[in-house]
Amino acid sequence: MFDLSEKTAVITGGGSGIGKAIAILFAKQGADVAIIELNQANGEAVVKEITANGGKASCFACDVSKQVEVKGVFDDIHTKTGRINILVNSAGISHIGNLEKTSETDFDRIFTVNVKGVYNCLLEAVTKMKLGGGGVILNLASVAGTLGIPDRFAYSMSKGAVLSMTLSVARDYINQNIRCNCISPGRVHTPFVDDFLKKNYPGQEQEMFEKLSKTQPIGRMGTPQEMASLALYLCSDEAGFVTGSDYNIDGGFMTLK
């Protein structure tokens, strides 16, 4: 089950956090993984880890917010592998602040990466998938996209847009054999969380980590590997009847609070 052999999987933001976990798992399941990363060093480190374990992977340096760069990279991947079967839109950035604490610069930065970046990659992937007879797209949304969370104004806006784009693509391309879903994680223990705590709560990192962990009814944060396991199912042939769906993976945050 969940065999990705003979498939090319493009994963944006595959150099760290959830994207890294997805890249490693997909390669383990046989996919030829193409990592798109702004931080090329991080992406190359993941490629090295994958290939050292017998997997296939390559890294492409790219700013997903720049359409010309994205088109060039997708063209390169398609030329190199002959196909693009899977796209995982994992690249994204965060912002802390309510409406009044969100500057125009902050808003534009979040929108450019989290919304336009996803749009750019969707556009190129759909174009290539149509040529190949279909494919699977998975977007990373967030519980913040559907539930009011304090001090996440711009971030929540962007993830709500990701959810809406997911539904639109699923509807518009179902007859081209393209499935499109998204997952909405709750709090996940990634390097972003550690950096956030170090920056905002110096000397209180462990105390605040425990506090944030307990906001999930299950009593802990999720792991990138748990997110990757759900991603693997949704991008595999076993999920062939699933499209236009958003999956909460949040330790009960959305339903049990």
Instruction: Give whole-number Cα distances, 85 to 10, 31, 55, 89, 255, in Å.
Output: 8, 10, 17, 13, 33
pLDDT over 70 percentage in the chain: 100
CATH of the domain at 119: 3.40.50.720
Query: Are both 17 and 98 inside the same structural domain?
Result: yes
Q: pLDDT band at residue 5, thresholds of 50, 70 and 90?
A: very high
Residues marked active site are found at: 155
Same domain, 45 and 89: yes
pLDDT at residue 196 tops 90: no
Domain that holds residue 197: 189-221
Tell me which of 68-72, 202-206, 234-238 is least confident: 202-206
Is residue 2 one of the residues assigned to a domain? no
- CA dihedral sign, ordered 20, 159, 235, 131: negative
C-beta of residue 114 within 8 angstroms of C-beta of residue 93: yes
Verify that 198 and 160 share a domain, yes or no.
Answer: no
pLDDT digits (tens, 9 = 90+) for 73-131: 999 999 999 999 999 999 999 999 999 999 999 999 999 999 999 999 999 999 999 99
Query: Average pLDDT in the 46-72 region?
Result: 98
